Amino acid sequence: MNIAIVGLGVIGGSFAKGLQAAGYNNVYGIDVSESTLKTAVNQGMIKKGFVEANDILQDMDVIMISLYPNQIAPFVEQYKNILKDGSILTDVTGVKAAIIEKVSKVLPSTVDFVFAHPMRGSEKKGIIGADHTRFIGANALITPIPTNKEASLQLIEKLYKEIGFDQVTRVSPGKHDEQIAYVSQLMHVLSVAVVNSQQASEETLTFAGNSFQELTRIADINGELWSELFLNNRTALLTSIEHFETELNAMKLTLADNDEDELKKIFKQATSKRREWY
């Protein structure tokens, strides 16, 4: 089986390493950077690297597109005429419905596209951050579309499991986006808003403890990527922010009213819900 990884950044590079480690010998890399490809070959991540997708794509059975969200549909459109019949494409994007809509408009019927979301990001960028062990124990989501063949879905699920993912769950694109807006994108919104607060200063660290450090970690954000992720999911994200604000306002009210009983009730609910999860 010939596998191409398109885009050897931190995620693509990690997949390449993971697939090699899992025993796949025919993993090829496609990247705009010659030096990235050289690094990938030298580190044994890929068998060979190509700057021109045209030179290799027609021989690939699986094509994992690890590009920025807005680059995926244009990539498919550009190379749709050379894709091997029956080949399986897949992505690693953190939003689904908008990407599926764009890709579906250009996808040839001779290939299958399994939309997937490996859930283990990184603040790092580029191939130097690639490390397949990051996926060990991580979860992934697959968002099937009506045209997917069951065999294609199962192949991608198998590859994920083989490189260390724990749970690989199928979920509808709409539900994916709604939940990701809540559990991931909202966290980034909050972290960024905290760091950008006018209260932030050079002295902040004199006062800060663990919780501030943890909560602001993801404010060191890849803005190029996350602006695309946010805007491709902006309706769901705005809804998540509104649900959050409902709870924020409830807490503000207890402060304004000096209402200890209500505040304790709110804390009790949070404690009990958090403990159900972890």
Residues 93 to 132 in contact with its own copies, rule: CB under 8 A:
119-121
Give the shortest CB-123-to-its own copies separation in angstroms: 9
48 binds its own copies (CB under 8 A): no
Site string for its own copies, 203-222 (x = CB under 8 A): xxxxxxxxxxxxxxxxxxx-
Query: Given the DSSP bridges, would you call strands 116-119 and 139-142 parallel, antiparallel or unpaired?
Result: antiparallel
Full DSSP string of 175-220: HHHHHHIIIIIHHHHHHHHHHHSTT--TTHHHH--HHHHHHHGGGS
Q: Give the residue, chosen from 27, 141, 155, 159, that forms a contact with its own copies under the rule CB under 8 A.
A: 141
Distance, CA of 136 to chain centre: 15
Alpha carbons 189 and 181: distance in angstroms, whole number: 10
Find the part of the chain contacting its own copies (CB under 8 A) among 42-50, 125-133, 150-158, 228-236.
Answer: 228-236
CB nearer to its own copies: pick between 42 and 199: 199
133 binds its own copies (CB under 8 A): no
Distance, CA of 109 to chain centre: 26
Q: What residues between 165 and 194 interact with its own copies by CB under 8 A?
A: 167, 169, 171, 176, 178-180, 182-184, 186-194
Q: Which helix (H) or strand (E) holds 88?
A: strand 88-91
Site string for its own copies, 233-262 (x = CB under 8 A): -x--xx-xx-xxxxxx-xxx-xxx-x-x--
